[in-house]
């Protein structure tokens, strides 16, 4: 039954959501009716897409669609089982082999999502003898994985190497130390200082795991992410198929020993349904296209630089982003909500973040630039954002 205490808990969130919906400013879970290219459709109305993680514009590629359809005819829509039972196909094994080759590691394991990859990996490896050390603004999937871990969790101030070293030094006698960070921070677009983090983990004997969800495909010479950008290979790298590779699912690359351990210890792998074979086929084709069509990475960076410089010229504060994830500071929560709704009406879809997702007075939009955008899309997006900002006195 729903007791009064549960009712109060539900109301603490639902009342705010209802007020937001009643005000007309609720722009979440809008019904899309087309693929997430440079432009998409909300309820059959065209919008410029600045929220998708489809960085290289591969989602909906004809060759990927064909690979998915062919696998659907062969394997059906789903295995109806976990990987350890009947959920493994030759496509799963081929994908894991190609992922390990791409990332320059011995082995790979796939999960049903990036969220599950972090949850399963961190909770499996971090037992009661482990000190788990994490950046304070890591993605929620990392933080939730840390909550499931049996070891003590230590949080250090964002990107502070002084604080990280302090925690490592204070716990130097711990049997096992496990440091986990984002390679690219999903709200601010910053690249973590992995060269310094790697140096400290080597110095203090800690294992290093890096979440490369927002870096694979376009950072580093081979698109391996922030680790390759700094010339390091972490002990464990996590990535996702739902962004650059235009599909859904997650993966981890590491040594044979770590991957074998995860296959038989990570609950999010062992007790979770397998990725459908058609999805796996699509990701395999996306990996091939990513290598075959390097112009996509070039176009992504061209669009990113053009969009960022356009925002700065217009008077926006874009914080310290140097990646296709670009935060656009608005400040006031109400202004951000109103602008978000107006922008959708004007033909631009961009995700907003207000308190408590960000500190009070630091409301922002988070733009994710993609290679699928045309130059005209980029310029029009800047124009629409600037017009909305002027209406709400946001620009300096």
The residues assigned a catalytic role are 186, 214, 243
Nearest-angstrom CA–CA distance, 294 and 284 = 16
Cβ-based neighbours of 111, under 8 Å, separated by 6 or more: 117, 120, 249, 250, 251, 252, 266, 268, 269, 272, 275
Nearest-angstrom CA–CA distance, 341 and 21 = 11
How far, in Å, are 15, 79, 355, 385 from residue 333 at the CA level?
17, 45, 7, 16
Nearest-angstrom CA–CA distance, 190 and 327 = 10
The residues that bridge with 210 in the sheet, in sequence order, are 181, 237
Nearest-angstrom CA–CA distance, 359 and 305 = 27
Please check whether residue 252 is in contact with residue 266, taking contact to mean a CB–CB distance below 8 angstroms.
no
Cβ-based neighbours of 294, under 8 Å, separated by 6 or more: none
Find the Cα–Cα–Cα–Cα dihedral 317, 187, 181, 210, rounded to 10°.
Answer: -110
CA 234 to mean position of chain CA atoms:
18
Nearest-angstrom CA–CA distance, 77 and 186 = 31
């Amino acid at each position: 039954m729903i007791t009064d205490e549960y009712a109060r808990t539900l109301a603490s969130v639902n009342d705010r959501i209802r007020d937001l919906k009643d005000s007309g400013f609720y722009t979440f879970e809008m019904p899309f009716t087309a693929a997430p290219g440079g432009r998409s459709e909300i309820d059959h109305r065209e919008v410029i897409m600045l929220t998708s993680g489809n960085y290289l514009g591969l989602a909906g590629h004809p060759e990927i669609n064909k690979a998915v359809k062919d696998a659907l005819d062969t394997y059906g829509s789903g295995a109806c089982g976990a990987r350890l039972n009947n959920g493994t196909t030759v496509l799963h094994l081929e994908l894991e082999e190609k992922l390990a080759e791409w990332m320059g590691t011995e082995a790979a394991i796939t999960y049903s999502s990036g969220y599950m990859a972090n949850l399963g990996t961190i909770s499996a490896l971090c037992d009661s003898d482990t000190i788990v050390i994490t950046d304070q603004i890591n993605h929620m999937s990392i933080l939730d994985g840390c909550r499931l871990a049996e070891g003590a969790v230590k949080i250090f101030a964002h990107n502070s190497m002084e604080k990280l070293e302090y925690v490592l030094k204070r716990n130097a006698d711990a049997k096992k130390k496990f440091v986990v960070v984002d390679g690219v921070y999903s709200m601010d677009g910053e690249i973590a200082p992995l060269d310094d983090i790697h140096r400290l983990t080597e110095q203090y004997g800690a294992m290093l795991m890096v979440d490369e969800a927002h870096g694979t495909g376009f950072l580093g010479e081979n698109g391996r992410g922030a680790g390759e950008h700094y010339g390091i290979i972490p002990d464990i790298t996590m990535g996702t198929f739902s962004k650059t590779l235009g599909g859904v699912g997650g993966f981890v690359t590491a040594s044979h020993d770590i991957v074998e351990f995860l296959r038989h210890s990570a609950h999010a792998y062992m007790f979770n349904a397998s990725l459908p074979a058609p999805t796996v086929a699509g990701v395999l084709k996306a990996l091939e296209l990513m290598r075959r069509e390097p112009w996509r990475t070039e176009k992504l960076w061209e669009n990113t630089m053009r969009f960022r410089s356009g925002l700065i010229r217009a008077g926006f504060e874009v914080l310290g982003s140097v990646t296709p994830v670009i935060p656009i500071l608005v400040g006031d929560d109400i202004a951000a909500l109103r602008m978000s709704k107006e922008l959708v009406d004007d033909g631009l879809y961009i995700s907003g973040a207000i308190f408590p997702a960000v500190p009070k007075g630091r409301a922002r939009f988070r733009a994710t630039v993609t290679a699928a955008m045309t130059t005209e899309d980029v310029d029009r997006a800047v124009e629409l954002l600037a017009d909305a900002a002027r209406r709400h006195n946001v620009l300096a």
